Amino acid sequence: MSTGFPEQQWKQDVGFFSHQRSENPALSAKFAQSAVQKPRSDPGFFVPVAPQGAAPLPAATSRRARPPAPGASLSLPQRKKTSGIPQAARRPFPGVGLLYRLARLFQRAPAPGTGGQAVPEAYWSLSAERLIADLDSEPQGLADAEAARRLARDGANRLVTTRQATALGLFLSQFKSPLVLILIAASLISLAAAEWIDASVVLVIVLGSTLLGFTQEYVAGNMIDKLRSKVTIHSSVLRDGQPQTLPSSQVAQGDVLLLSAGSLIPADGVVLAAKDLYVDQAVLTGETFPVEKQPGPTLAQAGLAERGNCVYMGTNVRSGTARVLIVRTGKATVFGQIAGKLALRPPMTEFERGIQRFGYLLTRIMLTMVVAVLAINIFMDKPPIASLLFALALAVGLTPELLPAIVSITLSHGAKRMARLGVIVRRLNSIENLGSMDVLCTDKTGTLTAGVVELDGAYDELGQASREVLRLAGVNARLQSGLVNPLDAAVRAAADQAGLALDGLARIDEIPYDFVRKCLSVVVADASGARQLIAKGALDRILALCTREGAQGLPLDAGRRARIEASYERWSAQGYRVLGVAWRAVDAREAAYTRADECELCFAGFLLFLDPPKPDARQTVADLARRGVGLKIITGDNRKVARHVAEAVGLPEASLLTGSELDAMDNAALLHAAERTAVFAEVDPNQKERIILALQKSGHVVGYMGDGINDALALHTADVGISVDTAVDVAKEAADFVLLSKDLGVLRQGIDEGRTTFANTLKYILATVSANFGNMFSMALASIFLPFLPLLASQILLNNFLSDIPATTIAGDRVDAEWVARPRRWDALFIRDYMVLFGLLSSVFDLLTFGVLLWLFEAAPEEFRTGWFIESLLTELVIALVVRTRRRFYRSRPGNWLLASTLAVVAVALWIPYSPLSPMLGFVPLPATLLLAVIALTLLYVLAVELAKTLFYARVGSARRQWPASPAGA
């Protein structure tokens, strides 16, 4: 017995992984994505999801490698904080100072790690009995008290490689921005030069801005953590000899885990017993297909992929059942050790990349302006300390320093509103993607249909109602122990209602369902010991296994097959989902029954299931179409049923492609076909991924909604992954959003919220570039030609601070209907054109204000600064109300908090020159005529901006259709 993770063993595991990465570039891309892509969702247990099925994903072809492909919520070192704030929203300008490192000292330490677990050397080479004894466990699992003791010793089963920020740590981290640190340094220089008042004012304003950002982010972070905690991954374990379903974070070393199809494997373990267990472990080994796992020791020197008796955290069960002894948990797992070595950043969404480019543009402008203004003012013999503070204040005034906080606040408010609608946001950065989505792919069951599957009838091979067929199906449904599904529930309910006695049979064995065979068989024995294999599944697959039909066992010749297929076609066209039932007698034996025994069956009959379209499905599809979201059905069901549902819900020109037709197409052909096709039927998980990739390559932002094992790969590949609270864990963990009810109407409201969030974020950017850029440019220009500084540094910062207060309420602003009418995407050219036009217009009015103050009123320096401070602040405040809408500003009512905070700051701006603070801030009371002139200039500026806005959208909006058109008469 060794303590911790043996070095040799670790090198062996990671050496294998490193070799696979170097030999298999697709695997390298896969693992990098799976290891880093998504923010934390469940505060307990975080695992990735392995890719489903055949071919490895092409690297960086899905926009989710912008967001990601295979992998799921995984908390890793690149996450600086876990306050719920998106990483990109918190990314500072280049450079991180000493205060940031100081902030990390005040972060809460992580929970006790599992890196020190006692693990036997080469545990996969030991017998089950030896391993159970070494781990001081039992075949029937741990007692609750013992499990609690081990969790206290080892820590929860989490990959916690980040630290949870405390309130103090989050506050100190607000100072990590280089701009803030530069201002503090400049203030210290002023103190050294005995400029006490200027230094004190700057420090007070910096502290006020920091408190504003801290308060909003702390509240937003707590809000998101509470929302995410609603979606928790669970595992089934034996405790005190009884199966219990627990949060996966509570799985302890020595637990006995129960696995079935769709289970996410929460920790590393050894298989004690298994039945047709196939595990997808490509996330670790790169193997294309699922591998079979069986009990029994393997060689001590076996590599990771060669340990056929081991299962690993982060992988998932494709089919079969098993009991597993947990050996390693948390960071002691293979995946945890590898994750601990990675420090990659998560891929950014399209919106985040746009924000980043916008920040870089402003940084270049800021640096150029600061250096030029400082050099010119010093050359003109102006006070060097005042010139330095003035230049730095210009930089702060130009920079949208609240942008990270505004993005975070807007996203968190959007997530909170969506939660009230029944949409839980698991990855904040995906909210904008939801608003940008223009194609939604979904299965039909539960979304377009009622989702309450009922068995409408059981019929024999001739199409006559048959209690015997219902009895056979009931035995199969009741005794199967694999994946829980609504079809089996409907069969059991129908059998009970018919009063069929199903208790006289004993289950001997089971051949579990998988997505290749598309059927499930059970072997049962009656009281006499006679054994029978009963199979149930997709009709074409069952029929292919049959050689006889009916109670008489007549040969299944071509004519009889044609009759069965004609019945199938007729019922499918009526919207029924049709399954087949077959059976045969089998000999008693000790060896397990396998797929090879599913042969020479006797076809018994049909099961007809009905899941009618929802009454409001047609209206929902129409509502999505009006919002610019095209709906496509992707289903494994047969073409007849899929077409029937598509026509019932009003999908336009329901063109259809089947899985076999997809296989015959190359990627170029599919690229064109996917655009025109509304229904994809009889498809498998890998074909779903091909469809989504084809739509993405056509320029669409694609959402996928699914809840099954076979949906996990598509959920990862799509730009927006959507699942439901009742989904299997592997699908829920892969999703960006989880619906509390499987309803497209709820999703439609979620799309509106995503677009609202996008719109409110953009409002802040537009307001910032239309006011700040012009004001700072004008101020820099004025400082060159005026014999005095147009504003003191403290006045610039006060102006900036006051104008930021209403900006923090933009997250709750009302959004015009036209903003949510169509998908929106980041447009850098639109932002640039907007900044140039409205920045120059702002500068024109600034220069006009200079002329009025200097030549009309012959204002002294203090009067000039006071007048321009008021005019500059008023224009920034009112312009935000103008540019927040494409309509006439008086036809679009702002949010209550935005309007109230704007009016309050306007009152403060008019009060400051006459307040006791005025001398300390360098202001003087203004004559009434001068104050009225400043207000008149502000009103004139509003009218000019309103006119420019109309002309701008008439020119730019028509060229870029994605931007909303103004309503008639607005």
User: Would you name the residues annotated as active-site residues?
Assistant: 443
The H-assigned helical ranges of 727-743 are 729-734
**Residue 674 is which amino acid?**
A
> Biggest alpha carbon distance in the chain?
114
Q: How far apart are CA 457 and CA 607, in angstroms?
A: 6
Tokens of 113: 């790690």
126 within 8 A of 296, measured Cβ to Cβ: no
Burial of 928 (0-12, 13-18, 19+ CB in 10 A): exposed
548: which strand partners? 555, 602
Distance between CA 438 and CA 701 in Å, rounded?
6
Which residue in the block uniquely carries the two structure tokens 């919207």? 575
**3-state secondary structure string, 437-467?**
CCEEEECCCCCCECCCCEEEEEEECCCCECH
- Token representation of residue 192: 């050294």
Strand partners, 246: 235
Residue that is written with structure tokens 């799976």 in the block: 34
**In angstroms, rounded to a whole number, what is the distance separating the alpha carbons of residues 36 and 20?**
18
Cα(487)–Cα(455) distance, rounded to whole angstroms?
8
676 contacts 655 by C-beta, under 8 angstroms: yes
Up-side HSE of residue 643: CA atoms within 13 Å toward CB? 14
Report the candidate in 654, 653, 625 with the shortest Cα–Cα distance to residue 639: 654
**Helix boundaries (H) for 229-344:** 282-285, 334-341
Task: For 227-315, list the strands marked E by DSSP.
Answer: 234-239, 242-247, 256-259, 268-280, 291-293, 310-311
User: How far is it, in rounded angstroms, from Cα 703 to Cα 725?
Assistant: 17
Following CA atoms 497, 499, 505, 511 in sequence, which dihedral angle do they give, to the nearest 10 degrees? -30
Give residue for tokens 């309509």: 887
Alpha helices in 399-438 (DSSP H): 403-421, 431-436
Report how far apart the first and last C-alpha atoms of the chain are (Å, whole number): 77
Structure tokens at 636: 């494994």
Long-range contacts (CB closer than 8 Å, 24 or more residues apart) made by 361-365? 361/832, 362/398, 362/399, 362/400, 363/93, 363/399, 365/398, 365/773
Integer CA distances (angstroms), 68 to 32, 267, 514, 704, in order: 9, 23, 26, 14
In whole angstroms, what is the distance from residue 926 CA to residue 933 CA? 11
The tokens of 401 are what?
A: 């320093």
CB of 225 within 8 A of CB of 84? yes
**For the chain, how many residues are written?**
970
